[in-house]
Structure 1
Amino acid sequence: MTSSLQTKVFISSDQHNGFGVSSTIVYGPTEALLVDSQFSLSNAHRLVAEILELDRDLTQIFITHMHPDHYLGLEVVKAAFPGARVMAYKDAAAEVNDAFGFKIQHWRDTVLGRNGATTTVPVERIDETHLSVDGEPIEILGLMRGDSAYAAALWIPTIKTLVAADTVFSDAHVWVADARTPEERQDWFDTLDRLEALGATTIIPGHAPNTRPYDPDGIGFTRRYLKDFISELERCADAADLVARMDRRYPDLPVRICLEYSARILKDHYRWDGDWPESLRDRDAVI
């Protein structure tokens, strides 16, 4: 059967604190589903424009995980589409709701200022393993380790498309900071193996340059980056040395904040006051 589903991807610029984060619109003849809602208010408005131009009924907004660059734009998107259901899978919903107010305050104070969210938007917990757009199935692959402990990637089998969220990065620095132990980093490798086995022809990463094609190479890139980061983490003298080593391996990549903070947190044992939950701030890294 020929699928009627298509995807449209909005990736924010790495400029103006956009962080190169992706939002994916999955749409059919009449309906649309949005996956993640951007970080800044300005990029959320740009995303809304992309949705409006499709002229579909946005019925669902799915948040993949609790990192704020994927949901602080909700107030803009929800205002534009008040009838859309906002949801996340299982425990990811509670994580987003618990973190929301703190993340608004932290990022307005430190980075975004007036371009930052001011209002929380309730995120509904769902336990179903499938979503649908115009009656066609979209599979929730469960909560798995990526750059956070719990992320929910989506698989669209009829068009062999994986919306990978932050389990996969492509030609961008990777946020490794939350994977504090060798076991957690191995869990991420296991996630990549599982996703690769799907045989997707299109993979939409959580972060990438907005010129990057959405091909399966993102899984291989993420795997290589993690292996190289771990190798240099074990050999470097300090965070500055780690950053320099990774810059030599991966020059001029966007989303540099991921490299710099990951290096400081994992090598220099930096206690970052933006971490959530608060208990994560006191979890020392194990190399």
Structure 2
Amino acid sequence: MDGVDQALVVLAGFGAGILTSSVGVASLLSFPFLLAVGLPPVTANVSNTIGLVPGGLGGAVGYREELRAEPAITRQVIALTGVAGAVGAALLLALPPGVFEAIVPWLILVTCLVVGAQPRISRWLAVRRERAGHDGSPRVRLSPVTILFVLLTGVYGGYFGAGAGVMMIATLALGLDIDLRVIGGIRTASLLASNLVAAVIFTVVADVDWAVVGLLAVSSIVGGYVGARVARRMSVSLLRSLVVVAGVVASGALLFG
């Protein structure tokens, strides 16, 4: 890479770090940049996953207050996505390229619609629980269905991960009655776990461009922290709107890019 390519990778890492902890579509920014500087797709994907781990760390530090709010849920989601990330990494190395990418845009689009409709869906679910005789107490434990979708999102995060943050927010927002900012913190920490486990596997067995990893790592950790601070100051409705817009753009980029 020449100086221009290196500058582009640094810019991509900083922007991806911001997106990691704010709206959750980091790879949709950084992955195309790595392709543009000449990396083969699988090498770009692997290097991107490893390089953005520090961005997730920066985001988790930025969300440290939110992560203290629901420690039991946070630990459970992190454990689930860590295991699932290993499965996703194994699939990337074992399956032909393009298997997941074919359905990813549609998954992202559906989850965006779910995030946008989540307040109405939550009200509808609350009414149903009340009519069914439940006490209407807040849902602060993961149901089996929520656990399943957390695992699926973690697998996808370990495999490719573009839009995984949007999917995780949709899953947790529908399955739990907790503040969206807290969900944003759990989302950031859980995807960090998925990417970290995948990164360890990739480091051992995959073809990695370590120069790219280094540039992404340095720039994304700053971006991740900045993104978490920005997201904390947004209103819940604005954050929800940005998640939906980011997801729609991400799905469009994958469909037509």
Band of TM-score, shorter chain: under 0.3
- What is the TM-score normalised by the length of structure 1? 0.26
Which protein has the bigger helix share? 2
Q: Larger RCO: Structure 1 or Structure 2 (Cα < 8 Å, ≥ 6 residues apart)? A: 2
Which protein has the bigger strand share? 1
- What is the TM-score normalised by the length of structure 2? 0.28
